[in-house]
Amino acid sequence: MRQRLQINMKGEDLRRRIGEAIATGESKLTALEDRIKARDGDQPYDVRVEDGFASLQELETERTQVRDRVTQLALLRDSVVASDEYALSKSDLRAAGISVAPSPVITAIVCWTTAMRSGSPP
């Protein structure tokens, strides 16, 4: 059985990090709503250069997607128990809206493990 790398994170830290992802999503949502308001009176298929040639309908679709994602993250954050500790995989972190930059130690471990599997020492 293959063991994947997991990161242990306290519930309070996890809640904070998900909260940061929510704040980022909310700021993106506000910006999208401002862009949509600025296009009041446009037809759904009209495009503008300042919007990267996105139609009004495309902006509204993106707003719905961002709003849904913020809602999902809020539900996830609200279900985290602050006093618990969580073992999270890379896909768990992605689902929680948390990005973790690879540390040099983790990179070295992955390189060493890969070299050992191939039969040549690092």
Is 53:9 a contact under the CB 8 Å cutoff?
no
pLDDT of the residue at 78:
95
pLDDT of the residue at 47:
79
pLDDT of the residue at 77:
95
Supply φ then ψ for residue 7, to 5 degrees: -110, 130
| 122 residues of the chain, pLDDT tens digit each | 566 778 888 999 999 999 999 999 999 999 999 999 988 888 877 878 887 888 888 999 999 999 999 999 999 999 999 999 998 888 888 888 887 655 554 454 444 445 555 555 55
Residue 122 burial by Cβ neighbours in a 10 Å radius (0-12, 13-18, 19+): exposed
Measured CA distances, 60 to 29, 36, 39, 63, 74 (Å): 10, 7, 11, 5, 21
pLDDT of the residue at 102:
57
For the chain, counts of helices (H) and of strands (E):
4, 2
Supply φ then ψ for residue 96, to 5 degrees: -85, 0
pLDDT of the residue at 37:
92
Lookup: tokens for 59: 């902006």
